[in-house]
Amino acid sequence: MPSTTMKPFNDVETAAVEAALKRAQTGRAAWIGPDPALHSQDAELRWVEAVLRHRLSLLTLGRPVAIRTGEDNTHPLVAGGRAFPAVALTIPFADRTLDFLATYNDDGRLTFDVVSPCHCCGKPVPTEEIDRLEDLGDYLLQARDALGGSPRFRTSPAHAAGCPARG
Ligand SMILES: [Zn+2]
């Protein structure tokens, strides 16, 4: 849904928006099945990347989608953790990127947040939890009420010192 204030959507964004509109119309999200399993021979970063591909249904787009994956040295992998860094994932496009942070939530489930500038301090922080392609579509359509914000937003150490959004 390109407009004068928005760049046109790329393939992934278009698929996300279509999925979000379909969910809004039918009240149901597409069935995507269980996450890929972590096998002991897999490197964990590759597994995290595979889970993001699965949750966003990227394999169904019909063309390869590149994802850059690395450690995020600002955020811990678990809330309050010190030993392991979170995982940063970036989907690069010609004119922009989609950035995600992967951490474990309080239930021990691998969770993805889209990372975007804080509305107060401008630093890149986990803004919205994205569990599936439809969530990404809602985010792109700015239907944030439907999402409710990431639980990691207020606790992120990536905010500037003294940022009032951090609580
Ligand atoms: Zn901030």
What six digits make up the tokens of 163?
């940022």
Distance 106 CA to ligand 1 centre (A): 22
Separation of CA 121 and ligand 1 centre (Å) = 4
With a cut of 50, which residues of the chain have pLDDT below it? 1-3
CB 110 within 8 A of CB 87: no
Span 9-30, pLDDT tens digits = 899 999 999 999 999 999 999 8
Q: Is 154 part of a structural domain of the chain?
A: no
Residue 152 lies in a domain: no
How far does residue 155's CA lie from ligand 1's centre (Å)?
10
Q: Is 90 among the domain residues?
A: yes
Residue 125 lies in a domain: yes
- Which spans in the chain are helix H? 11-26, 44-55, 133-140
Domain count along the chain = 1
Tell me how far the alpha carbon of residue 112 lies from the centroid of ligand 1, in angstroms.
Answer: 19
pLDDT at residue 3, as a whole number: 47
- The range of the structural domain enclosing residue 89 comes to 11-27+41-146
* 87 occurs within a structural domain: yes
Q: How far is the CA of 95 from the centre of ligand 1 (A)?
A: 25
111 membership: H or E segment, kind and range: strand 110-117
Gap from CA of 162 to ligand 1 centroid (Å): 8
**Distance from Cα 21 to the centre of ligand 1, integer Å:** 30
Task: Say what the pLDDT of residue 145 is.
Answer: 63
pLDDT at 98: 96
Q: What is the pLDDT of residue 142?
A: 83
* Distance between Cα 10 and ligand 1 center (Å): 28
Is 142 domain-assigned? yes
Q: Are 16 and 91 in contact (CB under 8 A)?
A: no
156 domain-assigned: no
Q: Is 6 inside any structural domain?
A: no
